Amino acid sequence: MQQKNYSQIVLDHYRNPRNFGKLKEPTHTAEEVNPLCGDEIKVYLRVKNGKNGKNGKIEDIRYEARGCALSIAVASILAERIVNRELRIEETGKMEKSDIEQMLGIKISPARESCILLSLNAINKALSS
């Protein structure tokens, strides 16, 4: 059953990524590359209340990415939750591998950890700039 959930969630977000594309007039941007497998992502954020992400609120997020199904799916899930106001700035800074595994409904092997953390790292990098 767990493998079926993986396929449904990951493949849905991989084939139909939410909030994909470039954001006009972002307040924050960042890029991350996974040197182990070549996955790449660039995130665009619009944060309310200026450039101080810690005191601000994410109003919108978009991303451009190229990579495996896991990295694209996680970017889509995180962006969707941010846009739907299910994740706030302070929560993204505290997220760990286990939080993303919970969103996906599966455990990820250590070899794939960098794939699922790529977009989160980019978001947090953008917010800290």
Please tell me the distance from the alpha carbon of residue 60 to that of residue 26, in angstroms, as a whole number: 9
Q: How many domains does the chain have?
A: 1
> What is the CATH classification number for the domain harbouring 98?
3.90.1010.10
pLDDT reported for residue 100: 94
- For residues 113 and 121, is the Cβ–Cβ distance under 8 A? no
88 Cβ neighbours under 8 A, 6+ residues apart: 57, 58
DSSP SS3 for 70? helix
Of 105 and 15, the structure prediction assigns the larger pLDDT to 15
Sheet of 28-33, strand order: 28-33, 40-48, 57-66
Read off the pLDDT band of 55 (50, 70, 90).
low
Taking all residues of the chain, what is their mean pLDDT, rounded to a whole number? 88
Of 19 and 2, the structure prediction assigns the larger pLDDT to 19
Listed in order, strand segments (DSSP E) in 10-115 are 28-33, 40-48, 57-66
Can you give the pTM of this predicted structure?
Answer: 0.88
Q: At what angle do helices 97-104 and 2-15 cross, to 10 degrees?
A: 90
Owning domain of residue 88 = 2-128
